[in-house]
Amino acid sequence: MKIKEIKVSDIAVFGFGREGKSTLLFLFKLGKKRVSLFDEKEEVLFDFIKFLVDLENTLDFEVKKGEFGYEGKVKLLYKQKKVTIKFYFGDIDYRLFTDFDAIIKTPGISPYNDKYANFREKFISQTTIFKDNYKGKVIGITGTKGKSTISTLIYECLKEAGFDTKLVGNIGKPVLDQINILEKTKYDYVVYEMSSYMLEDHSPKNYISILNNIYECHIDRHGSFEAYKKAKANILSSAKYSLINYDFRDMEPVKRQDKSIVFHFGRAGDYRYEDGEFLKGKNRILKDKNILLKGEHNKRNITAVLGVLDIILKDKKKVKKVLSSVLQTFSGLPHRIQNIGTYKGITFIDDAIAVAPESTIEAMKTFSSEIGTLFLGGQDRGDSEKHFEELEKKIIELDIQNLVLFPDTGYKIFEKYTKNLEEEKSHTIEIGDYKAKIIKTRTMKKGVSFAYKHTKEGKIALLSCASPSFSLWKNYEEKGNLFQQEVQEQGKE
């Protein structure tokens, strides 16, 4: 939706999270005098009041408890201009949505929900507004895993090469907070990490699009694996250059722009990693020396970055210089195979970002037989049982001696042997020749205490839960931070 259309349209904001607040302020900056705000949670009212207090200059505030929840109206001064927000929090009367030309929803709201069927065609997002109005070159990255690392590496490399570059999307603040499209701000390159939620309703017009991988994930959101794959594949349909992981080359769309150029990367293809070297075709670009990133999967991630640099720099020596410089200092992102330190002879690794079994299996491959204790479990979002069976096989193969299991999915690991075991107590399970101590717990404190008690000196305690964090924590950052806090505090005892 173009800016000029938003200016003259009747707009609603659906969802009052971080992005919902950002969208409200964007609309006020645009000159909208009246905006309607909806959220399906009544408790949002208190966050909304805090938002108004922080803005200051509230002129009038009305609220009442109606049939469907809280509703009201607030008038305030924003940059010396009077604006009005009508708000509805709770069980929304969705008939109200028929009055709007467009509804700007936050990523957490699924368009697939049947209750939105009569107006889902009105849904737009910050991502679609950005796409329709930003004129510069965008490098878009998606994948079930690895997209944050690839996005950050590309950003760091382009900065190192001297380009004016901005990193936005799933990895940070809302895009309309980051880039002022109202003043037509333009960078050499915008690096945009794109989730399936961002891609489900549009095809971005990227200069370069990267599809890293697709594993069965977010089925509770998309309804099926096919719908999830379709959302991810949207990133490829309108790109000038497409970089696709060789192992997922079947995702290349049948229909795309006639001039689109496609490359493959990973363990094979145009840009690849083999025998300790990063290659373009038959040409060696860089040896795997002095690189801080751990894990075979990260080497494959680097090949995607190599592809981007080759497209942009078009010079082997420049590519080598830039990539080598960044890889010698970049050790990874917080909560992504992050070494917290060694306490009481045990090395603790924070891989809280691992929200799928495949991610945890990759982390397990990285440390292999060094793992003494593994933390597992989180929200059950309908991922395939097959993937958890593969995880169980890997645990047995590596003979991991201690398991900390969180609900919901953690309680399903070896469920046949753990189903009737009491929570918050240490138990021993035996599966053939495999024997392990386990604890089913709802607290990080108890889990870390168990790890300190049972992990042998010289071994690793790995937090890599194979599931989203929402069963016990707000997000993976909260889980990872709490893990680090408990490790450090109990390490002093």
Q: Domain boundary at 65, 94, 124, which?
A: 124
Token pair listed for 35: 């905006």
Which pLDDT score is estimated for 383?
Answer: 62
**Element (DSSP H or E) covering residue 89:** strand 81-90
* 3 within some domain: no
Which pLDDT score is estimated for 259?
Answer: 67
Distance (Å, rounded) from C-alpha 138 to C-alpha 206?
5
Domain match, 139 and 283 both: yes
Q: Which of 99, 98, 118, 111 is nearest to 202 (CA)?
A: 111
Domain match, 148 and 268 both: yes
Q: Which of 120, 90, 86, 89 is nearest to 105 (CA)?
A: 120
CA quadruple 390, 396, 397, 402: dihedral sign: positive
Mean pLDDT by 10 residues, the chain (493 residues): 96 94 96 96 95 93 91 95 97 93 93 91 95 96 93 98 93 85 92 92 91 86 88 91 94 60 96 97 93 92 98 98 97 92 98 92 95 97 77 97 97 91 97 97 98 98 96 95 98 92
Please give the model's pTM, rounded to 2 decimal places: 0.86
* 2 within some domain: no
Domain match, 286 and 398 both: no
Which pLDDT score is estimated for 255?
Answer: 47
Q: Domain boundary at 327, 360, 389, which?
A: 327
Tally of domains in the chain:
3
Identify the domain containing residue 299 by its residue range.
Answer: 128-327
Distance (Å, rounded) from C-alpha 20 to C-alpha 14?
7
Listed in sequence order, the residues at least 6 apart from 391 whose beta carbon sits closer than 8 Å to its beta carbon are: 357, 360, 361, 376, 413, 466
Contact assessment for residue 313 and residue 151, using Cβ atoms and an 8 Å cutoff: no
Which pLDDT score is estimated for 218?
Answer: 79
Q: Helices in 288-378 by DSSP H: which ranges?
A: 296-313, 316-327, 357-367
Distance (Å, rounded) from C-alpha 459 to C-alpha 84?
59
Residue type, 122: K
CATH number, position 476: 3.90.190.20
Measured CA angle at 436 (ends 433, 437), to 5 deg: 155
Domain match, 350 and 300 both: no
